[in-house]
Amino acid sequence: MHHDIALIATIAVGFVSAAILGYIADRMRLPPLVGYLAAGILIGPFSPGFTANGDIASQLAELGVILLMFGVGLHFSASDLKAVRALAVPGAVLQIVLVTLLGMGLASLFGRSPGTGLVFGLCLSVASTVVLLKALEERNLVNSAAGRVAIGWLIVEDLVMVLVLVLLPLLAEVIGGQVAGHAGDHAVPADATTITVNIIVTLAKVSGFTVLAVVLGPKTVPWMLTQVARTGSRELFTLSVLAIALGIAFGSAMLFGVSFALGAFFAGVIMSESHLSHRAAADSLPLQNAFSVLFFVSVGMLFDPTIILREPLEVLATLALVIIGKYVVSVAVVLLLRYPLGMALAIGAGLAQIGEFSFILAGLGISLGLLSPEGQSLILAGAILSITINPLLFWITGEMKTRLRVALPVWSARHGKKRFEALTSELAVIQAQQEARDRQHHMKIQHIVETFPLFSSIDEASHEELLLMFRPHSASPGDRILRAGDRGDSMYFIASGSVEVQISKGEIRLGAGSFFGEMALLTGGRRTADVVAVDFCELFLLDRRDFNVFMSRHPALRAAVSEMAQARKRMNETTDETEV
């Protein structure tokens, strides 16, 4: 295989094998993602036959994570994060600490050092964003209270892992590893001052990125998106959405040291402030789905199946810690924080797996001498098997929830009821506010179509573009809106009120739903009449550039405007002749 087509080969073989095995998995009543993982194993370096480029596959998978987290951010506002913080922040931190301790204990049973156990435990403590979101989407739980808490929980986990990835190289020698890039006597252990300074710098970077995203982002990104949407180019709009998602993700990683996934999430949160967020989500969804498949394929490629035969007990112990240990810890933490049993079980099922951050951390552990390739294989085995079993765990959770409610009806009904009601109430208010904004936006479009039947023939996307192009303007009785002889730079649409068009021998009154000023734009000449407001008027202006752009995309609409303009011109001439 020539090197110059490695990217094409990896994508083509990855998609083809994932499509075939995903379909087979579905026919066997298994989740398609099991087929995607099997496809990765099939084209990975540990299986005979064609071997895809692992480095390219991992980067394509990172793209999938970026796009997926961007989509989450589009539907998960800063208000959502604030609403779930009371459970997501302490819950995520407690779970990471407890699962890491369990992982260290398991590693010590395997005869590993404490430093190795620390990295091993941390790898098992963080869940896969891709797997959780797929599970929530399949069960229509993304917008539920438990779904929003679980997503917020993962965001906190990502922030903690960003800190871990920065601190681990500093602590490597202290816990038995070595600093990457140093060796032997030349390695200088990091002292407490250095570690403290780096912690402060890391926290400052993450805080700076968060403040910049929350304060500056909503003021610039929606405006930029609006300007692009006004061009009416569908492909340019889609390109701009992807540019913003990938640009912010890459820039935040380079400048602030946060993960690509976290940067992409904040890009989505920023863009959610725009009323074009739904369109952005729809445009990016096909790419999200495609590249999330490559994520599972790349995970399968990393897996060495022989580890199951070489170390079956260690694989089973690791899997038990991920499936049972994380599930029990997550459920216990949620219940400890006084939230209901149903929410605890749902969150526990969603978090009982490991994924992308585990692989990144394991790779760092190997480079620092804290983790062996055997340890990485155990982590990968735990990831693949837990991802495969996760849908079954959701089914078991549903059965458990039903039986526990029957066995403990009073306790399950009362425990955490007040906090759950407060949380759901706050989330409902946030959702209602978002729906109100969307409803108001759609009402504006509907009002334009109802007021100006001229636009009823164009599609919904064109209505959206027209609304972006319109500039509101008001006029009081007696105000001169247009003056004869002036150069025409805008066309006016009357939303309410009425105006008088003053021609040489009389006046013509125009009311709501009418337009004027189009003749100068069509002919390129100057204004031929004065236009004066008779009532309080609400007007929409369409300037020359936007008029030409919009009409060029809708020739039938331009022809209708031209016909009306010519009819009005003939009427004006008839009025002049009659009065003469």
For residue 14, give the nearest of 69, 63, 60, 65 by alpha carbon.
60
Sequence-distant (≥ 6) Cβ neighbours of residue 364 within 8 angstroms? 165, 168, 169
Report the pLDDT value the prediction gives residue 577, as an integer from 0 to 100. 43
Spatial strand order of the sheet with 499-503 comes to: 480-482, 530-533, 499-503, 506-510
* Residue-wise burial string across 307-336, b where 16 or more C-beta atoms lie within 10 A, e elsewhere: beeebeebbebbbebbbebbbebbbebbbe
Q: Return the number of other C-beta atoms located less than 10 Å from residue 569's C-beta.
A: 13
Higher pLDDT, 472 or 1: 472
Q: Which residue's entry shows tokens 């590693």?
A: 107
State pLDDT tens for residues 132-187.
888 888 888 888 888 889 988 988 887 788 778 777 877 777 777 665 444 444 44
* Reported confidence tier of residue 345, pLDDT bands at 50, 70, 90: very high
Contacts of 44 (CB under 8 A, 6+ apart): 51, 52, 54, 300, 301, 302, 303
Q: Which pLDDT value is given to residue 192?
A: 67
Q: Which residue has the higher pLDDT, 519 or 339?
A: 339
Between CA 469 and CA 10 the distance in angstroms is: 43
DSSP conformational letter for 48:
S
Ordered domains of the chain (ranges, CATH): 3-48+55-176+205-415 (1.20.1530.20), 455-579 (2.60.120.10)
Tokens of 140: 């229509």
Neighbours of 207 (CB within 10 A): 11
Going by pLDDT thresholds of 50, 70 and 90, the confidence category of residue 557 is: confident
* pLDDT number for residue 580: 29
Single out the residue of 505, 476, 489 nearest to residue 580, CA to CA: 505
**C-alpha span between 202 and 72 (Å, rounded):** 25
pLDDT of the residue at 179: 56
Predicted local confidence at residue 336, as pLDDT = 92
Mean pLDDT computed over 433-444: 72
Q: Which long-range contacts (CB under 8 A, 24 or more apart) does 279-286 make?
A: 279/229, 279/237, 279/461, 279/464, 280/74, 280/225, 280/241, 281/71, 281/74, 281/75, 283/237, 283/238, 283/241, 284/67, 284/70, 284/71, 284/238, 284/241, 284/242, 284/245, 285/71
- Examine the pLDDT at 387 and tell me if it is beyond 80: yes
Written as one string, the DSSP assignment of 346-407 is: HHHHHHSS--HHHHHHHHHHHHTTSS-HHHHHHHHHHHHHHHHHHHHHHHHHHHHHHHHHHH
- pLDDT reading at 300 higher than 90: no
Average confidence score pLDDT of the chain: 82
Structure tokens at 468: 């972006």
Q: Is residue 244 a contact partner of residue 50, using CB atoms and an 8 Å limit?
A: no
Q: What is the pLDDT of residue 92?
A: 92
Q: What is the mean pLDDT of residues 258-273?
A: 79
Write down the residue that tokens 């681990």 correspond to: 168
**Residue 416 banded pLDDT, cuts 50, 70, 90:** confident
Q: What is the pLDDT of residue 532?
A: 92
Query: What average pLDDT score do residues 52-77 get?
Result: 79
> Who wins on pLDDT, 259 or 137?
137
Q: Is residue 76 scored above 80 in pLDDT? A: no
Task: Specify which residues 507 forms β-bridges with.
Answer: 502
**Per-residue tokens: 548:** 């030409």
pLDDT number for residue 578 = 36
Strand partners, 539: 473, 494
The set of residues, in sequence order, having a beta carbon less than 8 Å from that of 128 and lying 6+ positions away, is 353, 354, 355, 356, 357, 358, 383, 387
Torsion angle of alpha carbons 325, 330, 336, 337, nearest 10°?
160
- pLDDT-based confidence at residue 2 (cuts at 50, 70, 90): low
State which H helix or E strand residue 344 sits in: helix 341-351
pLDDT digits (tens, 9 = 90+) for 308-335: 888 899 999 999 999 999 999 999 999 9
Do 560 and 461 meet the contact criterion of CB atoms below 8 Å apart?
no
Residue 108 has pLDDT above 70, yes or no: yes
Residue 199 has pLDDT above 80, yes or no: no
Q: β-strands 530-533, 499-503: how paired? A: antiparallel
* CA 300/CA 315 separation, integer angstroms: 16
Q: What is the pLDDT of residue 571?
A: 66
Mean pLDDT: which of 117-126, 365-374, 401-410 is highest? 117-126
Higher per-residue pLDDT: 332 or 577: 332
Rounded percentage of the chain residues whose pLDDT exceeds 90: 15
Residues 519-530: tens digit of each pLDDT:
888 777 788 888
| Average pLDDT rounded to a whole number, residues 388-414 | 86
- Mean pLDDT, range 58-70, rounded to an integer: 80
What per-residue string of b and e applies to 446-475 under the rule 16 or more CB within 10 Å gives b? eebbebbebbeebeeebbbbbbbbbeeeeb
Rounded mean pLDDT, 483-508? 84
Q: What is the pLDDT of residue 487?
A: 83
pLDDT score at 111: 87
Q: In this predicted structure, what is the pLDDT of residue 77?
A: 67
pLDDT at residue 55, as a whole number = 81
DSSP-assigned states of every residue in 394-423: HHHHHHHHHHHHHHSHHHHHHTTHHHHHHH
